[in-house]
Amino acid sequence: MAYSDKVIDHYKNPRNVGSFSKSEQGVGTGIVGAPECGDVMKLQIKVNEKTEVIEEARFKTFGCGSAIASSSLITEWVKGKSIEEALAIKNTEIVSELSLPPVKIHCSVLAEDAIKAAIADYKKKTDQAGNETHGHHRDQ
């Protein structure tokens, strides 16, 4: 299949590949998969807990070129956005930015799901930390 130039660019020079430690303060981790093809993706955000702005994002995608490009692109997009703004990103925006063909739409869905999962994880972590008034740290 012919990939668009933007996909190839992100695929060959993926931005923000890597990981944060899951237990680090302000880090939210989203792990998702696409059952159609069995590909998996891990996407992490580092949030400034005061401003709720995403300062950094990292990903590791074990999947096709479109999934790698989608996750690379979305990590660039979310940087500097509030978590609310990041939640509003739709996979269709990725599809049009990367000119993904219909058979590759599920790859962009994976990136949207991953960001949502990372934010959900971040919220869960901060809620938990807020509830633990005695300062114990519960390891996940």
Partner 1 sequence: MATIETNKHTDHLCWSCYQPTGGKPFCPDCATILPVPPQSNYFSILGLDAKRMSLEPERLEEAFYALSRQVHPDHYQSRSPKERQIAEERAAVVNVAYRTLRDPIARTEYLLELETSSPQEHRDQPPAELLSQLIEIEEIVEAYRGSAGAERGALKDFLKEVHRSLEARREATETELHEAFELWDRLVAEEGSEEAKASLLKRLRELLHHRSYLTTTIRDLSAALAGEPRPGS
Catalytic amino acids? 37, 107
Task: Sort 120 into a burial class: Cβ within 10 Å, 0-12 / 13-18 / 19+.
Answer: middle
31 binds, among ligand FES, partner 1, none (CB under 5 to 8 A by kind): partner 1
Ranges within 69-98 binding partner 1 (CB under 8 A): none
Among positions 66, 72, 75, 91, the unique one binding ligand FES when judged by CB under 6 A: 66
Query: For residue 43, how far is the Cα from the chain centroid?
Result: 4
Residue 67 half-sphere exposure toward CB, CA atoms < 13 A: 24
Torsion of Cα atoms, 4 then 8 then 11 then 13, to 10° = -140
In the stretch 99-138, what mask flags binding to partner 1 with x, by CB under 8 A? ----------x---x---x---------------------
Contacts with 23 (C-beta within 8 Å, 6 or more apart), sequence order: 139, 140
Q: Would you count residue 32 as binding partner 1 (CB under 8 A)?
A: yes
Phi, psi of 44 (to 5 degrees): -125, 145
54 binds, among partner 1, ligand FES, none (CB under 5 to 8 A by kind): none
Ranges within 33-52 binding ligand FES (CB under 6 A): 34, 37, 39
**6 Rama sector, left if φ>0, alpha if ψ -120 to 50, beta otherwise:** alpha
Count the site residues for partner 1 by CB under 8 A: 19
Q: What DSSP designation does 82 have?
A: B
Instruction: Give residues in contact with partner 1 (CB under 8 A).
Output: 31-33, 35-40, 42, 60, 62-65, 67, 109, 113, 117
Instruction: Give residues in contact with ligand FES (CB under 6 A).
Output: 34, 37, 39, 63-64, 66-67, 104, 107, 110
